Amino acid sequence: MNKKSLLTRFRWPLFIVIWGAGQLAGTAYLYKDTHMATIGFVVFLVAFTVAVALNTIDETENEIQ
């Protein structure tokens, strides 16, 4: 079985969530809907944090071996 990193496995779903949340936040901000823009921004930050965490897990795993 191929060893794939976690970030590689979940690359496209994370990309879609990050892109969509950014689009939502930007569009809502342009239309002066600050509540929805805040929700989009928070979703963007959470998804970006998950991507960084997955990348960090993969890097530390390689260093331990």
pTM of the model: 0.80
C-alpha–C-alpha distance, residues 54 and 59, integer Å: 9
Task: Please check whether residue 14 is in contact with residue 47, taking contact to mean a CB–CB distance below 8 angstroms.
Answer: yes
Residue 55 scores a pLDDT above 70: yes
The mean pLDDT of 50-60, rounded to a whole number, is: 83
Q: In angstroms, rounded to a whole number, what is the distance separating the alpha carbons of residues 14 and 65?
A: 27
Per-residue pLDDT at 56: 85
Tell me if residue 42 falls in helix, strand or coil: helix
What pLDDT was estimated at residue 22? Answer: 95
